[in-house]
Structure 1
Amino acid sequence: MADLSVTRYYTNITGIPAAQYYGPLYLTEVLAKYPGPIIFVYPYTGETEDSLAISPTLIVQEYGGTSAWTPAVEAQNQVEWQLAIEPTLKKKGIFQGGVYYLPPAYGFSAAELLPVESSNSALEYLGSFSHHNYPQTASAKANASAPVLAELMSHVNITDNVAPYGADTAATDEYGLTYVFGETNSVSGGGSPDISPTFGAGLWVLDYVLRATSSNIAKLNFHFQSYGTSYYIWWDEQSIRSPYYGGFVATDALAGESYITALDDGTSNYAAYVVYSVNKTPSKVVLINTDYFNGTGTRSSHNFVISGLTSKTISAKRLTANSALSRQDQGDAPTYAGQSFSNSGNCALTGKKETEQTLVSGGKATLKLYASEALVITL
Structure 2
Amino acid sequence: MYSQALLAVLAFSVARVVNAANVSVDVPVLQPTKSLPLASTLLSFSIEQDNWPEWSGIDERNEFTYSALTTYANLTGQPPKLRVGADSEDHTVWSPTVTINEDVFPPSNAITPYPEATNITVGSEYYTLVKWLPSGTHMVWGVNLGFNNATNAVNMVKAIINAFASPDVIESGVILERIEVGNEADLYGNNGLRQKGNWTVEDYVPDWESIADPVVEAAGIYSKNGSVSLQGAAFASQAFTPREVFALGILNSTAGQTISTISQHQYSAAFCNGGDFGLISFMNKTTVRGNLTVFEADIAASKANGLAYVLGETNSIACHGAPGVSNTAGAALWVIDYTLFASTIGIDELYFHEGIGYKYNFLQPVALNYSTINGSALDPPAPPHVQPAYYGGLVINTLIGNSGAASIVELTVDESDTTGYAAFENGQLTRAVFVNLNAWVASSTGTRPTVHIDLDFVNGTTTAKTATARRLVINYADDTQNLTWAGQSYEETADVSPTGQLDLETIDLTDGFDLRATEAILLTF
Q: TM-score of the superposition, structure 2-length normalised?
A: 0.56
- CA apart distance, 1:240: 2.3
Task: State the partner residue of 2:245.
Answer: 113
Match of 1:276 in 2: 424
**Partner residue in 2 for 1:46:** none
- 1:6-155 equivalence runs, <5 A: 16=5, 65=195, 68-91=198-221, 92-93=223-224, 94-102=229-237, 104=238, 106=239, 108-115=240-247, 116-120=249-253, 122-140=255-273, 146-155=276-285
CA 1:358–1:111 in structure 2 vs 1: closer, same or farther (change >3 Å)? same
- Residue 383 of structure 2 corresponds to residue 255 of structure 1: no
> d(CA) in 1 for partners of 2:4 and 2:273?
19
Q: In 1, distance between residues paired with 2:389 and 2:5?
A: 27
1:96 alignment partner, SS class = strand
Query: Given the superposition, is the C-alpha separation of residues 64 and 285 from structure 1 closer, same or farther in structure 2, using an over 3 Å criterion?
Result: closer
1:174 to 304, 322, 334: 304
Check the 8 A contact 1:40/1:61 in 2, yes or no: no
| Structure-1 residue corresponding to 2:468 | 315
Partners of 1:86 and 1:40 in 2: CA distance: 19
User: Partners in 2 of 1:126 and 1:266 — Cα distance?
Assistant: 41
Cα distance in 2 for partners of 1:265, 1:110 equals 33
**CA displacement at 1:64 relative to structure 2:** 7.6
User: Do the aligned residues in 2 keep the contact of 1:201 with 1:243 (CA within 8 Å)?
Assistant: yes
Moved over 4 A (4+): 14-19, 33-36, 39-43, 59-67
What CA deviation, in whole Å up to 9, does each residue of 1:316-352 have, x standing for no partner? 1111111111222xxxx11111111143211111111
Instruction: Show CA shifts across 1:94-141 (max 9, x none).
Output: 211111111x3x3x2222223422343544311211111111211338
CA contact (8 A) 1:137 1:147 kept: no
**Secondary structure class of the residue paired with 2:502:** coil
Partner of 1:243: 389
Name the CA distance, whole Å, in 2 between partners of 1:101 and 1:149. Answer: 23
| Equivalent-residue separation in structure 2 for 1:366 and 1:140 (angstroms) | 46
User: Partners in 1 of 2:147 and 2:466 — Cα distance?
Assistant: 66
The question of 1:232 aligning with 2:360 is answered: yes
Aligned residue for 1:285?
432
Aligned to 2:94: none
1:344 is matched with 493
Deviation at 1:66, TM superposition (A): 8.3
Residue by residue over 1:210-267, the C-alpha shift from the partner in whole angstroms, topping out at 9 and shown as x without a partner, is: 111222211222112113xx21112333232211101111111112242111113898
CA–CA separation in structure 2 for the residues paired with 1:125 and 1:240: 37
- Mapped to 2, the partners of 1:261 and 1:291 lie a distance apart of 22
Residues 1:62 and 1:352: Cα distance change in structure 2 (over 3 Å): closer
Paired residue for 1:306? 455
Identical-residue share of aligned pairs (%): 25
Paired AA for residue 101 in structure 1: A
Given the superposition, is the C-alpha separation of residues 163 and 250 from structure 1 closer, same or farther in structure 2, using an over 3 Å criterion? same
| Residue 370 (str. 1) matches residue 516 (str. 2) | yes
RMSD of aligned Cα (Å): 3.2
Residue 350 (structure 2) aligns with: 220
Give structure 1 stretches of 5+ with no counterpart: 1-13, 44-58
SS in 1 for 2:512: strand
Q: Secondary structure in 1 aligned to 2:294? A: helix
Q: Deviations over 1:49-70 (max 9, x none)?
A: xxxxxxxxxx858788587222
* Mean Cα deviation higher: 127-136 or 368-377: 127-136
Partner of 2:164: none
Q: Counterparts of 1:160 and 1:267 in 2: how far apart (Å)? A: 17
Contact 1:305 1:367 in 2 (8 A): yes
Q: TM-score w.r.t. structure 1 length?
A: 0.76
CA distance in 2 between counterparts of 1:64 and 1:348 reads 47
